[in-house]
Structure 1
Amino acid sequence: MAADGISVQKLNGDFNAPFINAENMQNNMKVINYSRTLMSIVGGIIAGILGFTGLTGFIFYFVVMAVTSVGLAAKAKFSIHSYFEGWNRVLLDGFLAGLMSFVLFWTFAYDIVHIF
């Protein structure tokens, strides 16, 4: 992840005000989107190879996204507000876009391994 999205800057010697670096925050959001997309693709391929169908595959997607969220929070040393605007960004951003990638690669891997 990039440098802190939020840093504290001293103003007039005794007053601390949060300073948000928009460029770092935007880079951190890109990292979340790339991570979710990559994990969705890998999770879809694994679900297809393991032969998950129906609801089992979607439950597997939620597990993969939960592991990804925990991994992102661990990478930020669980100091989410130093890198992102809030927990909502880490937990939910890119969730639906990742679902479409997951389904695409899930069905592709399932077809290759179990049908052809």
Structure 2
Amino acid sequence: MEASAAPLEENKPVYSPVAIQHNMAVLEYCRTCGASLGGAAAGIIGLTGIQGFLFVLFVLLATNTCIFIKAGLGQSHKYFISSKSVVTSSIFSFLFTYVLFWTFFYGIVHVY
């Protein structure tokens, strides 16, 4: 009887878990820096309401754009498993950091 083996997938990339973990940590660091700088800028300028919401979207878009440019446009698959994980990972952490820095600097500049 002949043993049948599953066909090997030759074009499927192989990822190192350690490298992926490191790249995600660098991604988190970049997002945290972008959120803190954006939140501080929004607080100093005094953005509130819809203007503040639009500014946080702008900062998030600018941060993601810089990450994709650094990784090489269309080449993020070399460093991350999927492009979706690059965009969606640590969104809540980004927002919490942004709000923290926004409230701190808004309070210092406009309240006191």
RMSD, aligned α-carbons: 1.2
Within a 5 Å distance, the mapping from 1:98-109 to structure 2 comes to: 98-109=94-105
Distance 1:27 1:60 in 2: 29
Segments of structure 1 that go 5 or more residues without pairing to the other structure are 1-14
TM-score norm. by structure 1 comes to 0.82
Cα deviation, residue 16, structure 1: 5.6
Q: How does 1:4-83 map to 2 (within 5 A)?
A: 18-78=13-73, 79-83=75-79
Structure 2 Cα separation of the partners of residues 101 and 27 of structure 1: 21
Q: CA separation of 1:105/1:18 partners in 2, compared to 1, >3 Å: closer, same or farther?
A: same
What are the Cα deviations for residues 94-114 of structure 1, in whole angstroms up to 9, with x where unaligned?
111110111111011011111
Q: CA deviation at 1:55?
A: 2.2
Which protein has greater RCO, CA pairs closer than 8 Å, 6+ apart?
2
**Deviations 1:29-55, CA, capped at 9 Å, x for gaps:** 001111111111110000000110122
The structure that is strand-richer by fraction is 1
The answer for the alignment partner of 2:107 in structure 1 is 111
Q: Distance in 2 between matches of 1:71 and 1:24?
A: 20
Specify the code of the residue in structure 1 equivalent to 2:63: T
**In percent, how many aligned pairs have the same letter?**
38
Q: Which SS does the other structure have where 2:13 is aligned? A: strand
Stretches of structure 2 that go unaligned for 5 or more consecutive residues are: 1-9
How many residues align? The count is: 102
Higher-Rg member (1/2): 2
Alpha-carbon offset, residue 18 of structure 1:
2.1
Using structure 2 for the length normalisation, give the TM-score.
0.85
Flag as ranges the 4+ runs of structure 1 deviating above 3 A: none
